[in-house]
Amino acid sequence: MELTISPRDHGNLEDYDRTYSEFNWSSVEREFDWSNGGAYNVAAEAIDRHARNWRRNKIALYAVQARGEVRKFTFGDIAEMSSRFASGLERLGAVRGDRIFVFLDRTAELYISVLGITKMGGIAGPLFSALGPDAVKDRALDCGARFIVTSPYLYKRLEPIMDDLVDVERFIIVGGNDGLGENTISIEELMDSGNPNYQAVSMEPTDPYIIHYTSGSTGKPKGVLLGHKAMIQQLITCRYVVDLMEEDTYWCTADPGWVTGTSVGIFGPWFLGTTIVSYEGRFDARAWYSLIERFKVSVWFTAPTALRMLMRAGDEVVKGYDLSALRHICSAGEPLNPEVIRWGLDVLGRRIHDNWWQTETGAPCISNYRSMTIKPGSMGKPIPGMVAAVVDENGTELPPRQEGFLALRPGWPAMMVGIWRNTPKFKEYFEIPGWYISGDQAYKDEEGYIWFLGRVDDVIKTSGERLGPFEVESALIEHPAVAESGVIGKPDQLRGEIVKAFIILRPGFTPSERLKEEITVFVKTRLAYYAYPREIEFVDSLPKTRSGKIMRRVLKARELGQSPGDLTMLDE
C-alpha cells in the first residue's frame, strides 16, 4: 500500500479538482497593469507597479552577504535603481533585443541588473558565478552578448579569453573598475548617468526577456529563450504551487543562473509583491537554518540535493534554531526521494512539496499542492491550465501504470519561445504532433498522480525490464549507511544492462565488501527482483550540476571510458 501524507490546511489552492476544471488563463491576465493599458514588460509588473502604490516602502529584498551583513531594498529602491540601470544601458548604446550577461555572485546588483536589462527591452543572461572562462566564452559567442555585468575578480577570471569575446563591447563592473581594462565602466558611473524615472519599454508577449543556457550530453549548451508572457504562469504558480501570500517572507535558494532562481526566485514572487531573501554565501547547514530563523522565512523553495545535505548534517543541528515561522517548503530540480519527505515530516515538522518543470517550460508544470494528499516519490498533478500525459511514440495516451514519455499540450504561457539560433533543436521537442515531449519517462497512476522514472537516456534496460534510476536511488538512501547515491545502467552480455550504484556513505560508516552485501540485500527486499544493484562503488562525491542534479551521464561515461559531453554546468 502506498504511503500518503494528508494536507493540514488548504493554502491558496483550496480545491484542486474544482480549480483545474474551471481555470482559464485570461482570469490571471486581469491582475497585471498591462491589462489596463500599462507597459507589457516583466520588470514593470514585478517592480514598477508596486512602487506606485502602498508597497513602495515595503521591503522587496533582504540581500544577505557572505559574512552575514544585510542590505535592505524597498520596492521603491529597486524601481529607481533598475530604472537608472536601464537608462544607463541605453546611454551606453544598448538597444532592445541585446543580449546582456550578468556574471555575478548573488548580490543585490544581480537582481537590479536583471530587472534593468528587461526594463529596457534587453534579454538578460544570468550566469553562475562559478563558470569558467571557456563556459562564458561559449555562451557569449553563441548569442552575441554585447555587454557583461560582472565584478573585479570575475573580470580577471575572463582575462585569458578577452580577445575571443568579439561581440562584447563593454564590461559593467560591480565593485569598482580601477586598474581594469579600458572596456570597463563602473556600475556607479553607469547608474549616475541614468534616469530614475525611466519607463519600462512595452514588449510583445513572445519577445524574450531572458536566456538560460542548459547543458546537454553532446555539443555546446543551448540558449533557451523565455518570453514576457511567462509572467502569467509565474504569477499563478507562485500563488498555487509556492503558496505565496502578501505577508510572506520568501527564500528561494536557487541561483539565478538556473531558471528556478529567476522564474520563482525573482519574478514570480515580486509579481505578488512578496518580500524575498537572497544569500550570497555557499551552503552551510547552520547558516541556512540561521537565515530561516533570522528573517522569519515563512516559505522556502530549495532543491533535493540541498535537503539531502541538510539530512547529512544531522538532525541535532535543526534543534538549535527556531523555524516556527516556516509554513511551506517546495523542492524542484530533480525528483524528491520519499526518504527526504519523511525526514521533513519527522525533523522539520513540515511537508515538502515536490514539483516538476524544466528550463524549457519556464515555470512549474506538475506539482504537489498544499491542499493535496502527497504520495512520496510522485511529482503530483498538473497545474490548472495545463494538460500533462504519459504517451507512446505515436502520441497516444497510455493507461495507468504504463510507462512512456512525459508530455505536455503546447501553448502554456511560460513555454519557451525558442532556442537561440537553433530552430531544429526547438522543433525536436514537438516531433510528436500535438505534444511537447519533455525527454523524461514517467507513468500515471489511477488517481492521476504522475511518477518520474528517469531521463529517457538514463532508463536502464535489464533482464528484459525497464527501470528508472530514481527508484533505485530512493531505495538506497533509505539504508542508514547511505547519504547519497547515483545509479546507472552498465552494459552486460547476459542481461543487456546491470544496475551499478555509486554511493556516498554517511559519517561513521566505512566502505567494505560486507557493507556492499548488506546494502544489496536491503534493496532486494524493497524492489523488484531485477532492480537491485549488482555492482556498488563507494565514492566521496557525485558529479552534479550547479542546480544540484546528479549527472548520471557523467557517471556512465567515466565508467565506460567515454566522453562525458558538455561539462560547463558541472559543480566542481
Q: pLDDT for 342-373, tens place per residue?
A: 999 999 999 999 999 999 999 999 999 999 99
What lies within 8 Å, CB to CB, of 469 at 6+ separation is 454, 458, 459, 460, 486, 487, 488, 489, 552
Q: 454: left (phi > 0), else alpha (psi -120 to 50), else beta?
A: left
- Residue ending a domain, choose from 175, 206, 228: 228
Residue 41 lies in a domain: no
> How many residues in the chain?
572
In terms of Cα–Cα distance, which of 557, 67, 541, 526 is closest to 305? 541
Chain segment 487-538, per-residue pLDDT in tens:
989 988 777 889 999 999 999 999 999 999 999 999 988 887 778 999 999 9
| CATH number, domain with residue 513 | 3.30.300.30
Number of Cβ within 10 Å of residue 539's Cβ equals 16
**Contact (CB, 8 A) for 54 and 60:** no
What lies within 8 Å, CB to CB, of 559 at 6+ separation is 488, 490, 500
**388-391 vs 404-408, strand pairing mode:** antiparallel
Rounded CA-CA distance 223/257 in Å is: 12
Provide the pLDDT for residue 471.
81
Rounded CA-CA distance 5/90 in Å is: 53
Provide the pLDDT for residue 464.
67
Residue 334 lies in a domain: no
Chain segment 462-488, per-residue pLDDT in tens:
876 677 788 888 889 989 999 999 998
**Contact (CB, 8 A) for 144 and 164:** no
Q: What are phi and psi of 51, to 5 degrees?
A: -70, -10
Provide the pLDDT for residue 246.
92
Residue 554 lies in a domain: yes
In 159-247, which ranges are continuous DSSP H helix? 187-192, 230-240
Residue 437 lies in a domain: no
Provide the pLDDT for residue 572.
54
Provide the pLDDT for residue 160.
93
In terms of Cα–Cα distance, which of 157, 144, 139 is closest to 223? 139
Provide the pLDDT for residue 112.
98
Residue 535 lies in a domain: yes
Reading the block at residue 341, the C-alpha cell is 519527505
- Residue ending a domain, choose from 228, 260, 292: 228
What lies within 8 Å, CB to CB, of 485 at 6+ separation is 472, 473, 476, 477, 501, 502, 503, 504, 542
Reading the block at residue 91, the C-alpha cell is 546611454
Rounded CA-CA distance 71/167 in Å is: 34
Residue 314 lies in a domain: no
What lies within 8 Å, CB to CB, of 426 at 6+ separation is 416, 418, 419
Number of Cβ within 10 Å of residue 525's Cβ equals 8
Q: What DSSP element (H or E) covers 150?
A: strand 147-150
Question: Buried (b) or exposed (e) across 31-66, using 16+ Cβ within 10 A?
Answer: ebebeeebbbbbbbbbbbbbbeeebeebbbbbbbbe
Range of the structural domain that residue 195 is part of: 75-228
Provide the pLDDT for residue 458.
75
In 463-502, which ranges are continuous DSSP H helix? 469-476
In terms of Cα–Cα distance, which of 559, 547, 454 is closest to 257? 547
In terms of Cα–Cα distance, which of 214, 144, 181 is closest to 425? 214
Q: How many structural domains comprise the chain?
A: 2
- Residue ending a domain, choose from 164, 193, 228: 228
Residue 288 lies in a domain: no
Rounded CA-CA distance 269/55 in Å is: 14
| CATH number, domain with residue 222 | 3.40.50.980
pTM: 0.88
Q: What are phi and psi of 162, to 5 degrees?
A: -55, -45
Q: What DSSP element (H or E) covers 16?
A: helix 16-22
Going residue by residue through the chain, which has 572 residues, state the pLDDT in tens, using 9 for 90 and above. 467 999 988 999 999 999 999 999 999 999 999 999 999 999 999 999 999 999 999 999 999 999 999 999 999 999 999 999 999 999 999 999 999 999 999 999 999 999 999 999 999 999 999 888 988 999 999 999 999 999 999 999 999 999 999 999 999 999 999 999 899 999 999 999 999 999 999 999 999 999 999 875 445 789 999 999 999 999 999 999 999 999 999 999 999 999 999 999 999 999 999 999 999 999 999 999 999 999 999 999 999 889 988 998 999 999 999 999 999 999 998 888 889 999 999 999 999 999 999 999 999 999 999 999 999 999 999 999 999 999 999 999 999 999 999 999 999 999 999 999 999 999 999 999 999 999 999 999 999 999 998 888 777 878 766 777 888 888 899 899 999 999 989 988 777 889 999 999 999 999 999 999 999 999 988 887 778 999 999 999 999 876 677 888 889 889 888 877 667 666 65
Residue 180 lies in a domain: yes
**147-150 vs 170-173, strand pairing mode:** parallel
Rounded CA-CA distance 191/88 in Å is: 6
Provide the pLDDT for residue 219.
58
Reading the block at residue 479, the C-alpha cell is 539504508
Residue type, 64: V
